[in-house]
Structure 1
Amino acid sequence: MPSPSAPLFRFGVVADPQYAALEPNPALDRYPANSLAKLEEAIAEFNRHDLAFVVTLGDIIDGGWESFDAVLPVYETLRHARHFLLGNHDFAVASQHLNEVASRVGMPSAYYDFAHAGYRFIALDGNEISLFAPPEGDPRRAEAKLLMKALHRAGAMNPHRWNAAISDTQYAWLVAKLDEAKAAGEKVIVMNHYPIFPENSHNAFDSESMLMLFAEQDHLVAYLSGHNHAGNFGVVDDTYFINFKGMVDTEDSNAYAIVSVYEDRLEIQGFGREESRVLVLQDA
């Protein structure tokens, strides 16, 4: 049984609200217009708790620049600090807006980090090397095509147009942030829209290289992601890989979570379709 000690802090998690004023897609069981009410419900619950922040793991909208005008005001009702990541659907906007998405949602930059109570949170921009986020003609689109071809030749599950990877520049930044956190004695939680484990058709193109990097990080506690709306879970070398379920799925059941961070464990309280878990920290 978990010890009853008070948590160091708690934070809320939302994955894939994917709001848009669109008709439902019953074939995929997605109801993008219903996400405003679901988000309002989640925020009402978050506001009942003492949370350090709430993170949205990408796909704030389903598409359309005007969708931000409807969904972002809902976040204004949140009484806690909020952090956003971007997903593939956030770039389903007119081409002239592709370079404005991060600033539209008030992000300091497309990838960033912050510290809280002995933890370093690293928020990745998993969209850099893709067929959708860079402007037309950008060499990163060609790089994404080469990655997809290599993955296809290797028989991988994930060479799909809706997946992506981080750049070499961001990878070097990630390594530096992991090193900084280790030197500071901080535990690390990495967040990305794209999962990297277990193997799945929704995983980032660079899953293997990230897993190799993370295998060397004994201070890395967890990797949080969205994108795969069904959710997923795995453990590698005492690091937990938690893929949260998509809020946009189903007509009326919700999906979000509150994570309580203790000295010796993470406790995930799932709401709606999201699962609850107790994750013991091996080096605590």
Structure 2
Amino acid sequence: MTSFSDLPILRFGVVADSQYAAREPHVGMNRHYARSFAKLSAAVEVFNGEELSFVITLGDIIDRDFESFDDILPVYDRLRHENFFLLGNHDFSVAADRLADVAARVGLASTYYSFARQGWRFIVLDGNEVSTFAPPEGHPYRDIAARRLAELRAAGAVNAQEWNAMPSDEQVAWLSDQINKARAAGERVIVMNHYPVYPPNAHDSWDRERIITLLTAHEHVAAYFSGHNHAGNFGTLEGCHFLNFKGMVDTETENTFAIVEIWADRIEVHGFGREDSRTLKLR
């Protein structure tokens, strides 16, 4: 007989960077855009065979063109589990007059939000908020983004790339408030964002340092999950785990996605295809 302690507290599915588009592959970059339809379909089939609390996609649902959503979103409709999205930079590779429609197209009333399950709070960020591509033309955040990018370039920062971005000061204040509310409620926290922050990489959020400082200061913050860097990455700082999931669009046939299990003392990541399996001990 299985005892209660032999079961995880909760389980959920993770997908990153499918970057679907009905277009020819970019062989030099190993991007197989159209193949993501079959890969995501296979992942959904696996998820539907499991008992999961939810599935979350860590951004870059499409590669380009607003019409790409019409092809790939029906694959998610087959999920028998609750489904969450956050947005990546490629989700805004659409015509300028469709930028304001992206969030609603994937069902987001707000581009950043949180939800709680079984004593855990999942805080979902909008890493594109201050960028040169996501805000509408003429929005003040575009000017702030241009200044921040120029600062980073002047400093020779590895993440001084126009395909990176960062949350606004207002959103980071909200994140801090969510972390404090979680502690008051006795909840542990996992933060999710498209952009990684650690270990240092060319794909990191422009404000990586302040996010790292905020997360590592709180013992109940267990992990930070991201996509964007398709090669994947992993590191631990002061007991907080930073896991960058690999990109589904890479490789012609091999898939990559994960099922994450939360236990009382650890997080177990069960990788499929190219995604690594790993055990993350809770501090």
Q: Under TM normalisation by the shorter chain, which class is it?
A: over 0.9
Distance 2:108 2:54 in 1: 14
C-alpha deviation, 1:169, in angstroms: 1.0
Q: Deviations over 1:138-187 (max 9, x none)?
A: 11111111111111122210011100000011111111101100100100
After superposition, where does 1:72-221 map in structure 2 within 5 Å? 72-221=73-222
RMSD between aligned alpha carbons? 0.8
What is the CA–CA distance in structure 1 between the aligned matches of 2:36 and 2:109, rounded to whole Å? 25
For structure 2, the 5+ residue unaligned runs are none
What does 1:18-29 correspond to in 2, within 5 Å? 18-29=19-30
Over the matched positions of the two proteins, sequence identity in percent amounts to 56
Q: What is the total number of aligned residue pairs between the two structures?
A: 279
8 A Cα contact 2:258 2:271, kept in partner: yes
Q: Secondary structure at the match of 2:42?
A: helix
The CA distance in 2 between the partners of 1:244 and 1:185, in whole Å, is 28
Aligned pairs for 1:23-62 (under 5 A) are 23-62=24-63
Q: Secondary structure at the match of 1:32?
A: coil
Question: 1:132, 1:34 → 2: CA distance?
Answer: 26
What is the alpha-carbon distance in structure 1 between the residues aligned to residue 84 and residue 97 of structure 2? Answer: 24
Q: Return the offset for 1:108.
A: 2.9
The residue type equivalent to 2:194 in the other structure is H
Instruction: Give how far 1:215 is off.
Output: 2.1
Spell out structure 1 runs of 4+ moving beyond 3 A. Answer: none
SS of structure 2 residue aligned to 1:54: strand
- Say which SS state the counterpart of residue 106 (structure 1) adopts: coil
C-alpha displacement at 1:248, in angstroms? 0.3
One-letter amino acid of the structure 1 residue matched with residue 202 of structure 2: S
- Counterpart check, 1:255 vs 2:256: yes
Structure 1 residues without counterparts, runs of 5 or longer: none
Does the CA-based 8 Å contact 2:216-2:239 persist in structure 1? no
Which residue in the other structure is 1:238 paired with? 239
Residue 17 of structure 1 is matched in structure 2 by 18
| Secondary structure in structure 2 of the residue aligned to 1:250 | coil
Which has the larger displacement, 72-81 or 100-109? 100-109
Q: Secondary structure, in 3 states, of the residue corresponding to 1:33?
A: coil
> Residue 226 of structure 2 contacts residue 244 of structure 2 at CA under 8 Å; is this kept in 1?
yes
SS of the counterpart of 2:20? coil
Q: What's the CA shift string for 1:23-73, capped at 9, x where partnerless? A: 000111000000000000000000110000000000000010000000000
Of residues 153-162 and 251-260 in structure 1, the stretch that sits farther from structure 2 once superposed is: 153-162
Give the TM-score normalised by the residue count of structure 2: 0.97
- Post-superposition offset of 1:94: 0.9
